[in-house]
Structures are given as structure tokens and as C-alpha cells.
Amino acid sequence: MEKKLRILIAKPGLDGHDRGAKVIARALRDAGMEVIYTGLRQTPEQIVNAALQEDVDAVGLSCLSGAHNHLFPKVVELLKERGAADILVFGGGVIPDDDIPGLKVAGIREIFTPGTSTESVIEFLRSNAQQ
């Protein structure tokens, strides 16, 4: 049997907007993935600890407060330091187009902006996350 994808959905920083994170978490679960949601106000360190502990294939970061440029790359960096560079990191939220190239260079594989369908996130994970 094919192994189920394990995904951590995380809210880094102080942002409290979690509607999108929860909708994505639920859609991924309905698509047959195992989903862990961190809840609000997680530091990059806490997120990386959770990712390692839960042995996930991918980490989805949601931020609508504008702090993504600081928080998202930090998660990738810490994963690398802990020898877990194979965990795929993706993100979403209110993220200006201009910031996306920089985030991708920093190792965030994909950024989903407002209006994205959950289906496209599911497809992205199925074709990119390590089984």
C-alpha cells in the first residue's frame, strides 16, 4: 500500500488569521493525507521541532501579517541545520508577488496566494512531496 503523505500545517509568528490554514489542513486530510496543525504563535524553532518529531514529508506555513520574509526562510534554514533539508516547505497568505522570488531562493518551494483552490495545493503536494 502507498504510504500516506504526512503534512505539518503551521502558523509562524504572531498572526492570528487561521481560517486559511485550517481550511487547507482539512482539505489535505479529506484528500487522504495525515495532517498535523500546530495552532497559533509558533516560533520557527517550535515548527521545526514539530516537523522532526512528527516525521512529516512537508511543512506548510501560513502568514497574513507581513512577517513572512523573516519567518519562512528561518524555518528552511533550521531544517537544514537539523539535517532535514528533504522536508518540503511551502507557504501561503497575503504575500506580495514581489516577495515570492526571494522566498523561493530561500528554499520555500511554492507560495500560494489568495484565491488558490485547495485542489492545486493537493496536486502540488502529490507531485512534489517525498513519499
Partner 1 sequence: MYKDEALERVRQEREKWEQGGLKKVLSRFPEQKESYENSSGVDVKRVYTPEDIAGTDYVEDLGFPGEYPYTRGVQPTMYRGRFWTMREYAGFATAEESNKRYKYLLEQGQTGLSVAFDLPTQIGYDSDHSLSKGEVGKVGVAIDSLADMEILLDGIPLDKVSTSMTINAPASVLLAMYIGVAEKQGVPLSKLSGTIQNDILKEYVARGTYIFPPAPSMRLITNIFEYCSKEVPDWNTISISGYHIREAGSSAAQEVAFTLSDGIAYVQAAIDAGLNVDNFAPRLSFFFNSHLDFFEEIAKFRAARRLWARIMKDRFGAKKDKSWMLRFHTQTGGSTLTAQQPDNNIVRVALQAMAAVLGGTQSLHTNSRDEALALPTEDSVRIALRTQQIIAYESGATETIDPMAGSYYVESLTNAIEEKAMAYIQQIDEMGGAVKAIEQGYMQREIQDSAYRYQKAVEEGRQVVVGVNQFQIAEPAPEGLLRVDPSVGEQQVKKLQELKARRDNVAVQTALDELTAAAQGDDNLMPYILKAVKAYATLGEICDRLRGVFGEYIAQDML
Residues of the shown chain interacting with partner 1 in the complex, contacts defined by CB under 8 A: 13-19, 22-23, 25-27, 29, 35, 37-41, 43, 65-67, 69-71, 94, 96-98, 113-115, 117-119
Question: How near is the Cβ of 100 to partner 1 at its closest, in Å?
Answer: 10
* Cβ nearer to partner 1, comparing 38 with 87: 38
Cα 10 to chain center, whole Å? Answer: 6
* Cβ nearer to partner 1, comparing 3 with 19: 19
Question: How near is the Cβ of 11 to partner 1 at its closest, in Å?
Answer: 8
Q: Residue 23's CB: how many other CB atoms inside 10 A?
A: 14
Handedness of CA 14, 72, 93, 52 (dihedral sign): negative
Question: How near is the Cβ of 71 to partner 1 at its closest, in Å?
Answer: 6
* Cβ nearer to partner 1, comparing 32 with 86: 32
In the three-class reduction of DSSP (H, G, I as helix; E, B as strand; rest coil), residue 35 is classed as strand
* Cβ nearer to partner 1, comparing 9 with 88: 9
d(CA 36, CA 115): 23
Question: How near is the Cβ of 26 to partner 1 at its closest, in Å?
Answer: 5
Report helix, strand and coil shares of the chain as percent, to nearest 5: 45, 20, 35
The pair phi, psi for residue 15, each rounded to 5°, is: -60, 135
